[in-house]
Structure 1
Amino acid sequence: MDKLTGDCAQRSSKCQVDFQFAKNNKEHRTDEISTKRLIVRRGQIFNIKVNFTDGSNPEITTFRLIFETGPDPKKSNGTQVVVPFTKSINVKRWSGIISSSTSSEWCLAISPSPTAKIGYHRLTLQHIDDQHVKYYIGNFVVLFNPWCSEDEVFLNSDSQRDEYVMNETGIIYVGSSDYINHVAWNFGQFEEDILDICLKILDNTPLYLKNPSKALATRGYPVYIARLVSAMVNSSDDRGVLQGRWHSPYDKGVYPGIWNGSIAILRKWNNDGCRAVRYGQCWVFAGVACTVLRCLGIPTRVVTNFDSAHDADANLTIDSYYDVEGDRTGESNDSIWNFHVWNECWMTRNDLRLGNDGWQVVDATPQEESDGIYCCGPAPVKAIKEGDMDMKYDVPFVFAEVNAHCVEWLVFGNGTKMRMDMNVSRVGHCTSTKRCGSDEREDVTGHYKYSDGSIQETEVFERANRIQNIPPPVKTLGLTLTAEKPIYNGKSVAITLVVSNKTSKKKVCELSFWAKKRKYHGPSENTCVKKHKQEITIAPNEEKIIPVKVDYKEYGRFPDMYNLMKLISLVTDVSTKDSAFAIKDITLINPPLTIKVLNEPVVQFKNVLVEISFLNTFPETLKNCVMTLEGAGLIEGGKEIRFKDVVPNEATKVNCDFVPYKSGLKKLLVDFDCDKLQDVKGSLNITVKSR
């Protein structure tokens, strides 16, 4: 259908309409998007004035309201709704009243149904008896309404609505369960063009392109909208927004860590004719999905699951196969991600049995197909915790991400396999989201699973049919691997291996240790940063401590965006061939960025000067240095600053100015990149006073 325009250019010449944009949009909490066009929420009244300029004096009782959406409006699929004027508003359906009138002007109060289809709508006044007599009133947009108790996305908390619908910035947690890091993200859902782009995404789904009427029939249901967004934010099987890539080269796009927010991604997709933007990874997919869902009015937050299982064969077990050099053999597509990021959306699940309302997992990262397409969810968090595997959508996959058992296998040169270890509690830790109303981390692991070893956990395992697990063999050797914290990028990493002899006989063992670069989503690279082997003798019932160090000169040869290493150790009894295995992922901590405003107070439409500083803690000069800044309401489209090389132990300062164009609490996001470092993130909350 025709796109919405601020002045309703296609309005009939028979009447003039005052949509009271500023007043209505403020009452509907959409004035941050625009005050030049009408954007309303379901189940809430808006008011307009119609002045008849054709000299007629229409009788109130002879006209009705017609609301239409889509290219071929029909009553049968709800894309055309015909409403007579009534004496009072019925907020449970489309309704309208004439609140006052004169000989040439009507004041109308209109309420969209709390189940109305979201998107562009046309409003027409039509004569009841002579349908050729009509007044085209204009276009407006309808969004979901978390403030309306009759809407399926109703969220009964002002603070949570402020956070999960209205907040244009957020925090996404990354790193590892041992060292939880975070990056600020610019959602920017209230930039005016973003609304049209989000609705354009819905109009580019395969079903809509093939059969718009059928697609529009479900556009009032948040369950299906969330599922569509999950599918359309990735481009695996449609005209989606982002193409995923988890390894170099990124020469046909940008590496995912460069992004600070969703705005640039969505605009690029829109401006490039709906061609996928290159490239994204899980936190980028989740950030963009959060923008789209919040923009449409669905309460949404970003959630990170650390030590997240990817159960490719759906058997609730993650099998990892290693050769005698510590390399994965590729016999399984299962993996464990250092972290994986998805979204939670708040909604009622009228399509499921009672008890499944509330937060729903929606994951836009393309991992496995669901009903033939790459999407995931919405999966009720309550169903995941209870192991209710029959609940729609994709509960078994998400259940495995937080609960799967992990089995490590050693593959010998002749192809024989030996199970080295089984861990029933390695996955699903420190599940994190930004706390409502603050920049602190909230741990929501307890929403997804019962505590290890509890009676409830056992019951859930049985309900999820997890009786397949075989008890691990009795071990005569023990092996633990720890890294001294904190672990700073640019410094040596101190590691301690402890081998224990659990028998009454002396053992002579071969100990192997490998440090490998690692991607956050599971696979370690073939390049081995460090390899250490030695023969050790352990007295009966004793422990032997072996220190190992990985120097910067060893791992610094391979800089990347992840700052992750996988540490692997294997100890084998030379005589009996009994073995023990230990594995650990570590995160290298980047030097922090310090950001401060130099000319407070910050005032809307007035120049602001900020200073960004950091200390080079690396033993090498940092070259090709660039800072990238962005922030909703602060900087239109972002800003890039290149500056001189930074020598070891030098503290450098970079100044930048910009003119904020919106008032209120805003967040400035900074990304620093150079030849030795990628994606060093920083952020600063800035309160912008109205001019």
Structure 2
Amino acid sequence: MCAVVGIPGPELGTSGVGYPAELNAPLPAPLHSLDIERCDLESRINNTTHHTDQNGIDRLIVRRGLPFTITLHLRSGSQFEAGVSTFRLIVEIGPLPKEQSGTKSTFSLTDSALKTAWSVSTNSPPGNVVSLSVSSPPDVPIGLYSLTLDQGQKVKLGEFVLLFNPWCAKDAVYMEEERDRQEYVLSQAGLIYKGTTKRIKASPWTFGQFEPGMLDICLKLLDENPKYSSDADADCSGRRNPVYVTRVISAMINSNDDKGVLVGNWSGDYDDGVRPSHWTDSVAILHQWADNCCQRVRYGQCWVFAAVACTVSRALGIPCRVVTNFGSAHDTNSNLLIEFLYDEDGNDISDDSVWNFHVWVDNWMARPDLDAGYDGWQASDPTPQEKSEGVFCCGPVPLKAIKEGELNLKYDAPFVFAEVNADVVEYVKLTNGRMVKMGGSSIDVGHFISTKAVGSDERHDITHLYKHPEGRSHVCRTHKIRLVFVNLG
């Protein structure tokens, strides 16, 4: 067995991690060296304050941009005195942390919390119990950190997990409404819509992002991605950005070109695995993947891929919802057309298709990499359909870009636009190779785009966020967008 190793609780011991050259010089011998007996990471109080207590309170799990408190208990005869006792803290993430990449930070006591850098402050009076307030910036990498105290000799105080923070206004995943945060970050259950435009059916799904072991597995999923294998520090540094993390999640939920979680199967033959319709929760899938040395799990289809992506996103602190598009186009050649192609005997020889329904996820985040106006919901699709930058993943792409046909914006706007807006045409391919157009329709795709409503089990129709109302003006507009895109392409 190759199970996920749990994150250890607080410990006190020496750290063998070295410093960059400019920081390797030992601290001057402090006037009053702290003789630390133990360190309390105050996980019960901190986890509750940081909305992570559903993960448990036996280890420290906090969100970036919000201070957390740790308490140093000194041995008898040792005393902390502000302005006299000197030390610095070191936080590190990843196997080869570096100051210049933001995966390591070394910082000393300040009078108050800093907003743009790691900092530590205290109001403790002289004595042998020292309460420290540690603050992280709202844009540092998320993941598993070590915490070390250095006063000439390094002492490891423990480890903690840092997550994205939808409660912090400076975090890229900030959501203003508490009811939205409850639904899209903290809710462990939801509904996924399947069926047809004439019969939409809601199926319950347990996301279970706070179930035992889930956070460890989600962090392991990040560490198993190929970018981590090729350059672990650059990958860990990239985890400051929810756009980057969302693309990693999208790639790792499928197993087409990495050690991802699920194998897709639409053949109807599931004898060597689980029929996709039999899955009802993400927990069993992720445990099976992790407990078997990251062997891919058989089998999934679109709603399973999306549901597992939602679990991982919420576990890491990225607001997420599962979205279903009824009459969903799969454009294989990026011409924004679904071309149904038949031979002279009537046999379907098409590469393109329109599915009864297709399921993906929306993630909530700012997009500082784009012009203003594209923050908010971003579509991301972990079902392996087409490659994006050489990898089977899709998104995130702003819903606004899809609605307005701004197909040059990252990531994969043309593909998602086609899913909800593609024109459908039919051709017969003659034996001489000539193509004869038979007919088509502009309103066969992109209907009843659905997600679970906030705070209730009602279906929330979000079609208006993806596309303008159907009608002649919409048809003309879509044709124009396609012509411009194809000509530019």
**When the two structures are superposed, what TM-score results if normalisation uses the length of structure 1?**
0.64
The answer as to 2:439 corresponding to 1:421 is yes
The offset of 1:57, in angstroms, is 3.5
In 2, the alpha carbon distance for the partners of 1:11 and 1:291 equals: 36
In 2, the alpha carbon distance for the partners of 1:467 and 1:224 equals: 26
The answer as to 2:11 corresponding to 1:5 is no
The answer as to 2:98 corresponding to 1:74 is yes
**Contact preservation (8 Å) 1:233, 1:241:** yes
**Contact preservation (8 Å) 2:386, 2:393:** yes
In 2, the alpha carbon distance for the partners of 1:356 and 1:33 equals: 32
**Contact preservation (8 Å) 2:327, 2:445:** yes
Q: Which among 411, 418, 438 is matched to residue 400 of structure 1?
A: 418
Greater RCO, CA 8 A, separation 6+: 2
In 1, the alpha carbon distance for the partners of 2:44 and 2:367 equals: 34
User: Which residue number corresponds to residue 452 of structure 1?
Assistant: 470
Q: 3-state SS of the aligned residue for 2:198? A: coil
The answer as to 2:384 corresponding to 1:381 is no
| Residues 198-244 of structure 1 deviation map (CA, whole Å, 9 limit, x = unaligned) | 00000011011121111112111000000100000101111101111
| Residues 166-201 of structure 1 deviation map (CA, whole Å, 9 limit, x = unaligned) | 100011101111111121110000113000000000
Read off the aligned partner of 1:33 and give its amino acid letter: N
Q: 3-state SS of the aligned residue for 1:71? A: coil
The answer as to 2:452 corresponding to 1:434 is yes
Q: Which among 169, 183, 187 is matched to residue 189 of structure 2?
A: 169
| Residues 544-572 of structure 1 deviation map (CA, whole Å, 9 limit, x = unaligned) | xxxxxxxxxxxxxxxxxxxxxxxxxxxxx
User: Which residue number corresponds to residue 21 of structure 1?
Assistant: 43
**Contact preservation (8 Å) 1:239, 1:275:** yes
Unaligned runs of 5+ in 1: 470-691
The offset of 1:452, in angstroms, is 2.1
The offset of 1:459, in angstroms, is 4.2
Q: 3-state SS of the aligned residue for 1:465? A: helix
In 2, the alpha carbon distance for the partners of 1:296 and 1:24 equals: 17
In 2, the alpha carbon distance for the partners of 1:449 and 1:191 equals: 37
**Contact preservation (8 Å) 1:44, 1:91:** no
Q: 3-state SS of the aligned residue for 2:184? A: helix
Q: Which among 250, 253, 266 is matched to residue 246 of structure 1?
A: 266
In 1, the alpha carbon distance for the partners of 2:115 and 2:185 equals: 22
In 1, the alpha carbon distance for the partners of 2:260 and 2:213 equals: 18
**Contact preservation (8 Å) 1:101, 1:107:** no
In 2, the alpha carbon distance for the partners of 1:389 and 1:120 equals: 36
User: Which residue number corresponds to residue 162 of structure 2?
Assistant: 142
User: Which residue number corresponds to residue 29 of structure 2?
Assistant: none
Q: 3-state SS of the aligned residue for 1:308? A: strand
In 2, the alpha carbon distance for the partners of 1:385 and 1:439 equals: 26
User: Which residue number corresponds to residue 111 of structure 2?
Assistant: 87
Q: Which among 352, 355, 358 is matched to residue 373 of structure 2?
A: 355
User: Which residue number corresponds to residue 37 of structure 1?
Assistant: 59
In 2, the alpha carbon distance for the partners of 1:244 and 1:333 equals: 18
In 2, the alpha carbon distance for the partners of 1:419 and 1:266 equals: 47
| Residues 355-374 of structure 1 deviation map (CA, whole Å, 9 limit, x = unaligned) | 11100001100000000000
Closer/same/farther in 2, CA of residues 457 and 27 from structure 1, 3 Å limit: farther
In 2, the alpha carbon distance for the partners of 1:8 and 1:335 equals: 56
Q: Percent identity?
A: 47
| Residues 446-483 of structure 1 deviation map (CA, whole Å, 9 limit, x = unaligned) | 111111236466445424435979xxxxxxxxxxxxxx
The offset of 1:415, in angstroms, is 6.6
The answer as to 2:135 corresponding to 1:111 is yes
| Residues 269-293 of structure 1 deviation map (CA, whole Å, 9 limit, x = unaligned) | 0001011111111000000000000
The offset of 1:134, in angstroms, is 2.7
Unaligned runs of 5+ in 2: 16-34
Read off the aligned partner of 1:448 and give its amino acid letter: Y
The offset of 1:82, in angstroms, is 1.2
Closer/same/farther in 2, CA of residues 233 and 353 from structure 1, 3 Å limit: same
Q: Which among 58, 70, 83 is matched to residue 48 of structure 1?
A: 70
In 2, the alpha carbon distance for the partners of 1:411 and 1:351 equals: 44
Closer/same/farther in 2, CA of residues 236 and 101 from structure 1, 3 Å limit: farther
The offset of 1:56, in angstroms, is 3.7
**Contact preservation (8 Å) 1:14, 1:54:** no
In 2, the alpha carbon distance for the partners of 1:280 and 1:80 equals: 38
**Contact preservation (8 Å) 1:232, 1:239:** yes
User: Which residue number corresponds to residue 356 of structure 2?
Assistant: 338
**Contact preservation (8 Å) 2:307, 2:322:** yes
In 2, the alpha carbon distance for the partners of 1:448 and 1:176 equals: 19
- RMSD between aligned alpha carbons? 2.1
Q: Hey, which of these two has a bigger chunk of helix by percent?
A: 2
In 2, the alpha carbon distance for the partners of 1:80 and 1:22 equals: 26
User: Which residue number corresponds to residue 500 of structure 1?
Assistant: none
In 1, the alpha carbon distance for the partners of 2:301 and 2:445 equals: 20
In 1, the alpha carbon distance for the partners of 2:294 and 2:81 equals: 47
User: Which residue number corresponds to residue 98 of structure 1?
Assistant: 122
**Contact preservation (8 Å) 1:387, 1:461:** no
Q: Hey, which of these two has a bigger chunk of strand by percent?
A: 1
In 1, the alpha carbon distance for the partners of 2:120 and 2:328 equals: 50
Q: Which among 154, 166, 185 is matched to residue 205 of structure 2?
A: 185
Read off the aligned partner of 1:5 and give its amino acid letter: P
Read off the aligned partner of 1:90 and give its amino acid letter: L
Q: 3-state SS of the aligned residue for 1:384? A: helix
Q: How many residues align?
A: 462
**When the two structures are superposed, what TM-score results if normalisation uses the length of structure 2?**
0.90
Q: 3-state SS of the aligned residue for 1:115? A: coil
